[in-house]
Protein backbone atom coordinates (compact mmCIF):
# COMPACT_ATOMS: atom_id res chain seq x y z
CA UNK A 1 0.00 0.00 0.00
CA UNK A 2 1.55 3.27 -1.15
CA UNK A 3 -1.15 5.66 0.09
CA UNK A 4 -3.52 6.05 3.02
CA UNK A 5 -6.63 7.35 1.25
CA UNK A 6 -9.28 5.87 3.52
CA UNK A 7 -9.97 3.18 6.09
CA UNK A 8 -12.01 1.34 3.46
CA UNK A 9 -8.75 0.39 1.71
CA UNK A 10 -7.23 -1.18 4.87
CA UNK A 11 -7.45 -4.65 6.36
CA UNK A 12 -7.68 -5.56 10.04
CA UNK A 13 -4.04 -6.71 9.82
CA UNK A 14 -3.00 -3.29 8.44
CA UNK A 15 -4.63 -1.56 11.42
CA UNK A 16 -3.00 -3.90 13.93
CA UNK A 17 0.40 -3.23 12.32
CA UNK A 18 -0.22 0.55 12.56
CA UNK A 19 -1.19 0.16 16.25
CA UNK A 20 1.89 -1.94 17.08
CA UNK A 21 4.11 0.61 15.32
CA UNK A 22 2.35 3.45 17.18
CA UNK A 23 2.92 1.58 20.48
CA UNK A 24 6.64 1.65 19.73
CA UNK A 25 6.65 5.37 18.88
CA UNK A 26 4.53 6.20 21.94
CA UNK A 27 7.02 4.42 24.15
CA UNK A 28 9.86 6.35 22.48
CA UNK A 29 8.04 9.68 23.03
CA UNK A 30 7.27 8.75 26.66
CA UNK A 31 10.97 8.12 27.23
CA UNK A 32 11.39 11.82 26.31
CA UNK A 33 13.20 10.89 23.09
CA UNK A 34 11.70 13.62 20.94
CA UNK A 35 13.34 12.65 17.64
CA UNK A 36 14.30 9.43 15.85
CA UNK A 37 16.42 9.40 12.66
CA UNK A 38 14.12 7.06 10.64
CA UNK A 39 13.06 9.48 7.87
CA UNK A 40 16.17 11.61 7.41
CA UNK A 41 16.08 11.30 3.62
CA UNK A 42 12.31 11.85 3.17
CA UNK A 43 10.59 15.17 2.34
CA UNK A 44 6.92 15.61 3.18
CA UNK A 45 4.53 18.37 2.06
CA UNK A 46 1.52 19.13 4.24
CA UNK A 47 -1.13 20.60 1.94
CA UNK A 48 -4.09 22.07 3.77
CA UNK A 49 -6.89 23.39 1.56
CA UNK A 50 -9.16 23.53 4.64
CA UNK A 51 -8.60 24.80 8.17
CA UNK A 52 -7.11 22.51 10.80
CA UNK A 53 -5.45 22.74 14.19
CA UNK A 54 -5.00 19.18 15.54
CA UNK A 55 -4.41 17.28 12.30
CA UNK A 56 -1.98 19.80 10.79
CA UNK A 57 0.10 20.24 13.95
CA UNK A 58 0.01 16.53 14.73
CA UNK A 59 1.26 15.56 11.25
CA UNK A 60 3.97 18.20 11.38
CA UNK A 61 5.13 17.05 14.82
CA UNK A 62 5.04 13.39 13.73
CA UNK A 63 7.12 14.18 10.63
CA UNK A 64 9.66 16.23 12.60
CA UNK A 65 9.95 13.53 15.27
CA UNK A 66 10.81 11.10 12.48
CA UNK A 67 13.46 13.59 11.21
CA UNK A 68 11.74 14.16 7.85
CA UNK A 69 12.13 17.46 6.00
CA UNK A 70 8.78 19.25 6.10
CA UNK A 71 7.14 21.95 3.98
CA UNK A 72 3.75 23.39 4.87
CA UNK A 73 1.21 24.77 2.46
CA UNK A 74 -1.97 26.56 3.35
CA UNK A 75 -4.39 27.28 0.49
CA UNK A 76 -5.56 30.55 2.02
CA UNK A 77 -2.11 32.12 1.62
CA UNK A 78 -1.17 30.46 -1.69
CA UNK A 79 -1.58 30.93 -5.45
CA UNK A 80 -4.75 28.78 -5.23
CA UNK A 81 -6.31 32.16 -4.44
CA UNK A 82 -5.15 33.29 -7.94
CA UNK A 83 -6.92 30.31 -9.55
CA UNK A 84 -4.15 27.66 -9.67
CA UNK A 85 -5.60 24.14 -9.93
CA UNK A 86 -5.03 21.29 -7.45
CA UNK A 87 -2.95 19.28 -9.97
CA UNK A 88 -0.81 22.30 -10.92
CA UNK A 89 -0.30 23.19 -7.28
CA UNK A 90 0.73 19.67 -6.32
CA UNK A 91 2.93 19.12 -9.40
CA UNK A 92 4.78 22.36 -8.68
CA UNK A 93 5.40 21.25 -5.10
CA UNK A 94 6.46 17.76 -6.22
CA UNK A 95 8.95 19.20 -8.72
CA UNK A 96 10.84 20.36 -5.62
CA UNK A 97 11.47 16.63 -4.91
CA UNK A 98 8.78 15.87 -2.34
CA UNK A 99 8.26 12.17 -1.49
CA UNK A 100 5.00 12.27 0.42
CA UNK A 101 1.92 14.49 0.47
CA UNK A 102 -0.43 14.90 3.43
CA UNK A 103 -3.56 16.57 2.13
CA UNK A 104 -6.76 17.99 3.59
CA UNK A 105 -9.26 19.11 0.96
CA UNK A 106 -12.96 20.09 0.99
CA UNK A 107 -13.80 17.78 -1.95
CA UNK A 108 -14.65 14.12 -1.21
CA UNK A 109 -12.29 11.90 -3.21
CA UNK A 110 -9.61 14.59 -3.64
CA UNK A 111 -6.90 12.19 -2.41
CA UNK A 112 -8.00 9.39 -4.74
CA UNK A 113 -8.07 11.86 -7.65
CA UNK A 114 -4.57 13.06 -6.82
CA UNK A 115 -3.24 9.50 -6.48
CA UNK A 116 -4.21 8.90 -10.12
CA UNK A 117 -2.15 11.88 -11.30
CA UNK A 118 1.04 11.94 -9.22
CA UNK A 119 3.75 9.51 -8.11
CA UNK A 120 4.23 10.57 -4.48
CA UNK A 121 2.64 8.77 -1.52
CA UNK A 122 -0.57 10.47 -0.36
CA UNK A 123 -2.07 10.53 3.12
CA UNK A 124 -5.65 11.76 3.32
CA UNK A 125 -5.93 14.21 6.22
CA UNK A 126 -9.68 14.65 5.60
CA UNK A 127 -11.54 14.94 2.27
CA UNK A 128 -14.85 16.78 2.58
CA UNK A 129 -17.51 14.66 4.28
CA UNK A 130 -15.87 11.45 3.03
CA UNK A 131 -12.97 10.02 5.15
CA UNK A 132 -10.50 11.09 7.82
CA UNK A 133 -8.53 7.85 8.22
CA UNK A 134 -5.86 8.95 10.71
CA UNK A 135 -8.59 10.34 13.00
CA UNK A 136 -10.36 6.96 13.02
CA UNK A 137 -7.07 5.18 13.66
CA UNK A 138 -6.23 7.41 16.62
CA UNK A 139 -9.80 7.08 17.93
CA UNK A 140 -9.69 3.27 17.83
CA UNK A 141 -6.17 3.28 19.26
CA UNK A 142 -7.43 5.45 22.15
CA UNK A 143 -10.33 3.03 22.79
CA UNK A 144 -7.85 0.11 22.80
CA UNK A 145 -5.62 2.00 25.24
CA UNK A 146 -8.51 2.89 27.58
CA UNK A 147 -10.54 -0.35 27.43
CA UNK A 148 -7.88 -2.92 26.51
CA UNK A 149 -9.38 -3.85 23.14
CA UNK A 150 -11.76 -2.54 20.46
CA UNK A 151 -13.27 -5.94 19.66
CA UNK A 152 -16.64 -6.46 21.34
CA UNK A 153 -16.94 -2.85 22.52
CA UNK A 154 -20.15 -0.91 21.92
CA UNK A 155 -19.56 2.51 20.40
CA UNK A 156 -22.19 5.14 19.64
CA UNK A 157 -21.34 8.02 17.32
CA UNK A 158 -23.56 10.97 18.18
CA UNK A 159 -24.53 14.01 16.17
CA UNK A 160 -23.96 15.26 12.65
CA UNK A 161 -23.23 11.96 10.91
CA UNK A 162 -24.26 13.28 7.48
CA UNK A 163 -21.42 15.79 7.15
CA UNK A 164 -18.82 13.84 9.11
CA UNK A 165 -15.74 12.22 7.59
CA UNK A 166 -14.84 11.20 11.15
CA UNK A 167 -18.07 9.16 11.42
CA UNK A 168 -17.55 7.23 8.18
CA UNK A 169 -13.89 6.42 8.86
CA UNK A 170 -14.73 5.44 12.46
CA UNK A 171 -17.54 3.14 11.31
CA UNK A 172 -15.18 1.34 8.88
CA UNK A 173 -12.36 1.06 11.44
CA UNK A 174 -14.54 0.03 14.40
CA UNK A 175 -16.28 -2.66 12.35
CA UNK A 176 -12.97 -4.00 10.99
CA UNK A 177 -11.73 -4.29 14.58
CA UNK A 178 -14.89 -6.08 15.78
CA UNK A 179 -16.74 -3.32 17.65
CA UNK A 180 -20.53 -2.86 17.54
CA UNK A 181 -21.50 0.57 16.21
CA UNK A 182 -24.67 2.64 16.50
CA UNK A 183 -25.28 6.22 15.44
CA UNK A 184 -27.56 8.69 17.19
CA UNK A 185 -28.70 12.09 15.98
CA UNK A 186 -31.51 14.04 14.36
CA UNK A 187 -33.02 12.26 11.33
CA UNK A 188 -31.94 15.16 9.08
CA UNK A 189 -28.29 14.54 10.01
CA UNK A 190 -28.28 10.74 9.51
CA UNK A 191 -27.41 9.68 5.93
CA UNK A 192 -29.81 7.28 4.19
CA UNK A 193 -27.04 4.73 3.45
CA UNK A 194 -26.09 4.24 7.10
CA UNK A 195 -28.07 1.03 7.70
CA UNK A 196 -26.50 -0.51 4.57
CA UNK A 197 -23.19 -0.24 6.45
CA UNK A 198 -24.59 -2.49 9.20
CA UNK A 199 -24.98 0.40 11.61
CA UNK A 200 -28.11 0.72 13.74
CA UNK A 201 -29.74 4.11 14.21
CA UNK A 202 -30.89 5.06 17.72
CA UNK A 203 -32.94 8.25 17.84
CA UNK A 204 -33.00 8.55 21.63
CA UNK A 205 -29.76 9.80 23.16
CA UNK A 206 -30.40 8.40 26.66
CA UNK A 207 -31.05 4.91 25.19
CA UNK A 208 -27.91 5.16 23.06
CA UNK A 209 -25.77 6.16 26.03
CA UNK A 210 -27.24 3.39 28.24
CA UNK A 211 -26.27 0.86 25.52
CA UNK A 212 -22.70 1.96 24.84
CA UNK A 213 -19.23 1.67 26.34
CA UNK A 214 -17.99 4.67 24.38
CA UNK A 215 -19.76 7.78 23.05
CA UNK A 216 -17.97 9.67 20.29
CA UNK A 217 -19.59 13.11 20.25
CA UNK A 218 -19.35 14.88 16.89
CA UNK A 219 -19.38 18.56 16.14
CA UNK A 220 -22.33 20.04 14.24
CA UNK A 221 -20.62 21.08 11.01
CA UNK A 222 -22.38 24.34 10.35
CA UNK A 223 -19.93 25.14 7.54
CA UNK A 224 -21.15 22.13 5.51
CA UNK A 225 -24.91 22.59 5.86
CA UNK A 226 -27.67 24.99 5.07
CA UNK A 227 -30.00 26.13 7.83
CA UNK A 228 -32.81 23.71 6.89
CA UNK A 229 -31.06 20.62 8.34
CA UNK A 230 -32.04 21.28 11.95
CA UNK A 231 -34.30 23.91 13.51
CA UNK A 232 -31.90 25.39 16.05
CA UNK A 233 -28.67 24.79 17.94
CA UNK A 234 -30.58 25.15 21.24
CA UNK A 235 -32.97 22.38 20.22
CA UNK A 236 -30.01 20.25 19.10
CA UNK A 237 -28.20 20.60 22.42
CA UNK A 238 -31.39 19.81 24.36
CA UNK A 239 -31.98 16.56 22.44
CA UNK A 240 -28.49 15.42 21.44
CA UNK A 241 -26.09 17.23 23.76
CA UNK A 242 -24.50 15.47 26.75
CA UNK A 243 -24.37 17.35 30.05
CA UNK A 244 -23.06 16.19 33.41
CA UNK A 245 -26.54 15.41 34.79
CA UNK A 246 -27.20 13.04 31.90
CA UNK A 247 -23.72 11.48 32.13
CA UNK A 248 -24.05 10.88 35.89
CA UNK A 249 -27.53 9.36 35.48
CA UNK A 250 -26.21 6.46 33.34
CA UNK A 251 -25.80 3.06 34.96
CA UNK A 252 -22.34 2.55 33.39
CA UNK A 253 -19.33 4.86 33.47
CA UNK A 254 -18.98 5.38 29.72
CA UNK A 255 -15.97 6.85 27.91
CA UNK A 256 -16.49 10.23 26.24
CA UNK A 257 -14.64 11.03 23.02
CA UNK A 258 -14.65 14.00 20.66
CA UNK A 259 -12.49 14.56 17.56
CA UNK A 260 -12.42 18.34 18.11
CA UNK A 261 -12.92 21.17 17.65
CA UNK A 262 -15.61 21.16 20.36
CA UNK A 263 -18.64 23.44 20.29
CA UNK A 264 -18.77 23.65 24.09
CA UNK A 265 -22.36 23.76 25.31
CA UNK A 266 -23.71 22.29 22.03
CA UNK A 267 -22.69 18.62 21.66
CA UNK A 268 -21.10 18.43 25.14
CA UNK A 269 -20.92 20.79 28.08
CA UNK A 270 -17.54 21.85 29.48
CA UNK A 271 -17.95 19.73 32.63
CA UNK A 272 -18.36 16.65 30.40
CA UNK A 273 -15.49 17.58 28.04
CA UNK A 274 -13.19 18.12 31.01
CA UNK A 275 -14.49 15.22 33.17
CA UNK A 276 -12.47 12.16 34.14
CA UNK A 277 -14.60 10.11 31.73
CA UNK A 278 -13.36 12.19 28.80
CA UNK A 279 -10.32 10.97 26.83
CA UNK A 280 -10.37 13.89 24.38
CA UNK A 281 -6.82 15.08 25.07
CA UNK A 282 -5.52 11.48 25.05
CA UNK A 283 -6.95 11.21 21.52
CA UNK A 284 -4.91 14.27 20.53
CA UNK A 285 -1.78 12.88 22.22
CA UNK A 286 -2.22 9.52 20.47
CA UNK A 287 -2.63 11.29 17.13
CA UNK A 288 1.09 12.01 17.00
CA UNK A 289 2.13 8.36 17.58
CA UNK A 290 -0.48 7.10 15.09
CA UNK A 291 0.67 9.57 12.42
CA UNK A 292 4.32 8.68 13.07
CA UNK A 293 3.36 5.04 12.52
CA UNK A 294 1.44 5.71 9.29
CA UNK A 295 4.19 7.92 7.83
CA UNK A 296 6.93 5.49 8.89
CA UNK A 297 5.16 2.49 7.33
CA UNK A 298 4.42 4.31 4.05
CA UNK A 299 7.93 5.77 3.88
CA UNK A 300 9.42 2.29 4.24
CA UNK A 301 7.59 1.41 0.98
CA UNK A 302 9.18 4.43 -0.75
CA UNK A 303 12.64 3.44 0.51
CA UNK A 304 12.06 -0.19 -0.49
CA UNK A 305 10.93 0.95 -3.96
CA UNK A 306 14.03 3.15 -4.39
CA UNK A 307 16.55 0.52 -3.31
N1 LIG B 1 -10.03 16.34 14.49
C2 LIG B 1 -9.62 17.21 13.54
O3 LIG B 1 -9.53 16.88 12.37
O4 LIG B 1 -9.35 18.48 14.01
P5 LIG B 1 -8.78 19.65 13.10
O6 LIG B 1 -9.86 20.03 12.12
O7 LIG B 1 -8.43 20.77 14.04
O8 LIG B 1 -7.58 19.12 12.38
pLDDT tens digits, 175-227: 999 999 999 999 989 999 999 999 999 999 999 999 999 999 999 877 666 65
Active-site residue 82, yes or no?
Answer: yes
Contacts of 9-14 with CB under 8 Å at 24 or more apart are 10/133, 10/172, 10/173, 10/176, 11/176, 12/176, 12/177
Residue 163 and residue 96 share a domain: no
Judge whether 253 lies within some domain. yes
Residue 276 and residue 137 share a domain: yes
Q: Which CATH number belongs to the domain containing residue 295 in this structure?
A: 3.40.50.1370
| Confidence band for 146, pLDDT divided at 50, 70 and 90 | very high
| Confidence band for 307, pLDDT divided at 50, 70 and 90 | low
* Ligand 1 atom with least separation from CA of 53: 7
pTM exceeds 0.90: yes
Residue 173 and residue 266 share a domain: yes
The torsion angle over the Cα atoms of residues 289, 294, 299 and 304, rounded to 10 degrees, is 120
Active-site residue 104, yes or no?
Answer: yes
Query: Is 56 annotated as ligand-binding?
Result: no
Residue 105 and residue 50 share a domain: yes
Residue 251 and residue 212 share a domain: yes
State the ipTM, two decimals.
Answer: 0.98
Residue 178 and residue 56 share a domain: no
Residue 249 and residue 137 share a domain: yes
Residue 114 and residue 38 share a domain: yes
Query: Is 234 annotated as ligand-binding?
Result: no
Reported as a single tens digit per residue, the pLDDT across 58-90 is 999 999 999 999 999 999 888 999 999 999 998
| Confidence band for 149, pLDDT divided at 50, 70 and 90 | very high
Judge whether 2 lies within some domain. no
Residue 277 and residue 166 share a domain: yes
- Determine if ligand 1 sits within 6 Å of the CB of residue 260: yes
Nearest residue CA, atom 1 of ligand 1?
259
Number of domains, the chain? 2
Across all residues in the chain, what is the average pLDDT? 94
In what side-by-side order are the strands of the sheet with 69-74? 69-74, 43-48, 100-105, 121-127
CA of 55 to the centre of ligand 1 (A): 5
Residue 118 and residue 248 share a domain: no
Residue 147 and residue 118 share a domain: no
Active-site residue 55, yes or no?
Answer: yes
* Ligand 1 atom with least separation from CA of 55: 8
**pLDDT for 229 beyond 80:** no
**pLDDT for 140 beyond 80:** yes
Give the structural domain span for 49. 7-131+285-306
Least confident of 72-76, 101-105, 107-111: 72-76
Reported as a single tens digit per residue, the pLDDT across 258-295 is 999 999 999 999 999 999 999 999 999 999 999 999 99
Residue 145 and residue 86 share a domain: no
Amino acid sequence: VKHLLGIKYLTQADIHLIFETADHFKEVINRSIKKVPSLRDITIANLFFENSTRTRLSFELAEKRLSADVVNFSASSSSVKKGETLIDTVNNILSMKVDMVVMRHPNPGAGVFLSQHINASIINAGDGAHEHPTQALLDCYSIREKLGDVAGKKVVIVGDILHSRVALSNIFALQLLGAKVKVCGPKTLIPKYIEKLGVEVEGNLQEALEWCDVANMLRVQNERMDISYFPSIREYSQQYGVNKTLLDSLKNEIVIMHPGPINRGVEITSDVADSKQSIILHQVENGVAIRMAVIYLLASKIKHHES
